[in-house]
A = this chain, B = another copy of it.
Amino acid sequence: MNKDEMQMYLDKAGVLIEALPYIQKFNRKVIVIKYGGSAMVDDKLKESVIQDVTLLKLVGFKPVIVHGGGNEISSWLGKVGMEAKFKNGLRVTDEPTMEVAEMVLNKVNKSLVTMVQGLGIKAIGISGKDGGLLQVDKKYAGGEDIGFVGEVKKVNASVITDLLEKDFLPIVCPIGMDDNFNTYNINADDAAQAIAQEMKAEKLAFLTDIEGVYKDYDDKSSLIPVLTPSEARKLIEEGSIQGGMLPKVNNCINAVEAGVSRVHIVDGRVPHCLLLEMFTKQGIGTMFVKEKTDEER
């Protein structure tokens, strides 16, 4: 073996060895991944996310995917001649809209199942209706009734536990039922957070279209690798976190405070972002924890 070959080999081995402590730490732990944004649109990224999740499963984690489907819903509403309406960022969802939304989300759901199965891993696609996984109350937009938009009231986590015990990789689309068994649309971030909380997941990762949380939003070099809830709240007060980031950061804060050990905002535009965040020392996004370790300070 020549020197260059040897170096290449050593580099390869180094990457695997670097992953060792993370694999060890999160072995047999539940990891909920909110899958959305660019990573659901670009085919290459899609493939890389699915590979990542598959690898996480293979090395002993218990990943659960929760996905959205926003763009496709609007596009299909168009196809059937309906108009997409929003109020306060929430989709106004009358019954026909809900019907289309459910069809589209299930289609997306099964396409993810197809991809995971294609990599030789046993996947199952469910919605929050199956086994009564997600029970909701109606959500109002500034006090106004906007139809079948739900907020999660109760997560029947045993549905997912059952599937994990049978070695399935569960893929969940964010649809739920109210007490009268009506169908509701749920924000995918909220659904992911609720499931992670109820399962006391070890990790919850939001795939987004940003790099993470910045100290100064205009300075891209000010990415914050680790944040506590109190630090995050301070950044909100100071106005560093605003706009679309606000609800996402609030989801992170809530999840951490409700018992999820680590919540990650990960840039879904980077190929294999999940592996890089979970298996390398520096990570690539922002991680929320209840308290920082000495090393993270």
* Residue on B nearest A55 in the bound complex, by CB: B20
Chain B residues near A11: list those with CB within 8 A: 11, 15
Chain B residues near A222: list those with CB within 8 A: none
Q: Which of B12, B81, B107, B271 contacts A106 (CB 8 A)?
A: B107
* Contact across chains for B113 and A107 when beta carbons are under 8 A apart: no
Which residues from 151 to 182 on chain A have a C-beta closer than 8 Å to any C-beta of chain B?
159, 162-163, 165-166, 168, 175, 177, 181
Q: Which of B6, B23, B55, B129 contacts A17 (CB 8 A)?
A: B55
Q: Which of B16, B27, B132 contacts A15 (CB 8 A)?
A: B16
Report the Cα distance A135→B280, complex, angstroms. Answer: 31
* Contact across chains for A107 and B117 when beta carbons are under 8 A apart: no
Q: Which of B114, B126, B276 contacts A177 (CB 8 A)?
A: B114
Report the Cα distance A181→B1, complex, angstroms. Answer: 36
Specify how many copies of this chain sit in the oligomer: 6
Q: Does A136 interact with chain B (Cβ within 8 Å)?
A: no
Q: Does A54 interact with chain B (Cβ within 8 Å)?
A: yes
* Contact across chains for A272 and B51 when beta carbons are under 8 A apart: no
* Contact across chains for B104 and A129 when beta carbons are under 8 A apart: no
Q: Does A84 interact with chain B (Cβ within 8 Å)?
A: no
* Contact across chains for A23 and B59 when beta carbons are under 8 A apart: yes
Chain B residues near A16: list those with CB within 8 A: 15-16, 19, 55, 272, 275, 279
Report the Cα distance A175→B58, complex, angstroms. Answer: 27
If over half of A's interface residues share one DSSP class (helix, strand or loop), that class is named, otherwise mixed; here it is helix
Interface pairs (12), CB distance under 8 Å: A1-B284, A12-B276, A12-B279, A59-B59, A80-B80, A103-B104, A106-B109, A106-B110, A123-B130, A125-B130, A162-B166, A166-B166
* Contact across chains for B13 and A276 when beta carbons are under 8 A apart: yes
Chain B residues near A59: list those with CB within 8 A: 23, 58-60
A2-15 vs B, CB cutoff 8 Å, 1 = contact: the mask equals 00001001111101
* Contact across chains for B272 and A54 when beta carbons are under 8 A apart: no
Chain B residues near A106: list those with CB within 8 A: 103, 106-107, 109-110
Which residues from 100 to 125 on chain A have a C-beta closer than 8 Å to any C-beta of chain B?
102-104, 106-107, 109-110, 113-115, 117-125
